[in-house]
């Protein structure tokens, strides 16, 4: 089922990517306020932690991709059982303990996510990788400032459980450091079945800090009975080839910044991260 020539995730490196000056700062914009009847819904689906946004209020602003309006419909996570594994993408040979995927679909071509997931170029995913930092104050982390997110994780310990919480300002996820200006861009696939090859991938190059306690909150979740271990971890897909042997048109990975010296190997330091509650 998951076969093709543009599969994800892939290894991302400065050396093997091409600088594209047309890749402008990305962002998230909000089209209108949420009502009391439009909460974010967190679900333990037995494989990962998913937060669903049922109403199109937030949109990815990818700047360089014209005539597309990508509605953010959900975000989910992949993580490992230790600090050296968990992320799906690697950056300059490094893996990270957590990766967040913000998933959106093109509303200019498709009526809903289901339709877009089967259509040509129907999806866009924004990926953020997290680096464990035992010294960072809990209230200075991105996860802490995602509204009631961390509190609700405790309520979905077992598969099938859900929890509603008040929407937070998703656009502020990129208002940290250089997160919106330093990223990789490539065409790929969903990393879970059916692995359709219709995704515009944007992966932020600089890791965001996360505390050990926050990582353990994720690892405390339980898999469905199909898994051989009870606690959820290592729910990532292995790296795929950028260009398999049978590829006809080689795939190219682009980056938004030019100087190699600008690549930040250490985690992003958050000196000030105000609460993201609306």
**Other residues' Cβ atoms within 10 Å of the Cβ of residue 260:** 8
Task: Yes or no: say if 19 and 254 are a contact pair by the CB < 8 Å rule.
Answer: yes
Question: What is the spatial distance between Cα 166 and Cα 39, in angstroms, rounded to a whole number?
Answer: 5
C-alpha 169/C-alpha 237 separation (Å) is: 29
Per-residue pLDDT 10s for the chain (278 aa) are 688 999 999 999 999 999 999 999 998 989 988 988 899 999 999 999 999 999 999 999 987 777 789 999 999 999 999 999 999 999 999 999 999 999 999 999 999 999 999 999 999 999 999 999 999 998 888 998 898 999 999 999 999 999 999 999 898 788 766 778 899 999 999 999 999 999 999 999 999 999 999 999 999 999 987 777 789 999 999 999 999 888 889 999 999 999 754 554 434 434 334 444 44
pLDDT value of position 270: 40
Cβ pair 204, 178 in contact under 8 A: no
SS (H, E, C) the chain: CCCCCCCCCCEECCCCCEECCCCCCCEEEECCCCCCCCCEEEEECCCCEEEECCCCCEEEECCCCCCCCEEEEEEEEEECCCCCCCCCCEECCECCCEEEEEEEEECCCCCCHHHHCCCCCCEEEEEEEEEECCCCCHHHCCCCCCCCHHHHHHHHCCCCCEEEECCECHHHHHCCCCCCCCEEEEEECCCCCCCCCCEEEEEECCCEEECHHHHHHHHCCECCCCCCCCECCCCCCCCCCCCCCCCCCCCCCEECCCCHHHCCCCCCCCCCCCCCEC
What integer pLDDT is reported at residue 68 of this predicted model?
Answer: 82
What the chain holds in terms of domains, given with CATH numbers, is: 11-262 (3.10.200.10)
Predicted local confidence at residue 177, as pLDDT: 66
């Amino acid at each position: 089922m998951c076969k093709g020539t543009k599969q994800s995730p892939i290894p991302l490196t400065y050396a093997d990517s091409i600088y594209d000056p047309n890749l402008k700062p990305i962002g998230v914009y909000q089209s209108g306020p949420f009502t009391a009847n439009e909460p974010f819904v967190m679900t333990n689906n037995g494989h990962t932690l998913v937060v669903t946004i049922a109403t199109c209020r937030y949109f990815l602003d990818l700047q360089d991709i014209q005539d597309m309006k990508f509605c953010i419909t959900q975000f989910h996570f992949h993580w490992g059982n230790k600090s050296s594994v968990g992320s799906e993408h690697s950056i300059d040979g490094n893996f990270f303990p957590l990766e967040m995927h913000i998933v959106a679909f093109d509303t200019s071509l498709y009526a809903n996510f289901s339709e877009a997931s089967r259509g040509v170029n129907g999806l866009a995913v924004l990926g953020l990788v997290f680096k464990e930092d035992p010294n960072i104050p809990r209230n200075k982390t991105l996860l802490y400032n995602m509204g009631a997110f961390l509190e609700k994780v405790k309520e979905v310990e077992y598969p099938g459980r859900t929890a509603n919480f008040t929407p937070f300002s998703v656009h502020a996820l990129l208002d940290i450091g250089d997160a919106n200006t330093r990223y990789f861009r490539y065409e790929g696939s969903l990393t879970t079945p059916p692995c359709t090859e219709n995704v515009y991938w944007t992966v932020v190059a600089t890791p965001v800090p996360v505390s050990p306690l926050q990582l353990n909150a994720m690892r405390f979740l339980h898999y469905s009975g199909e898994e051989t271990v009870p606690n959820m971890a290592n729910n990532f897909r292995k790296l795929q080839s950028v260009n398999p042997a049978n590829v006809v048109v080689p795939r190219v990975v682009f980056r938004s910044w030019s100087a190699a010296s600008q690549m930040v190997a250490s985690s992003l330091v958050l000196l000030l991260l105000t609460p993201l509650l609306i």
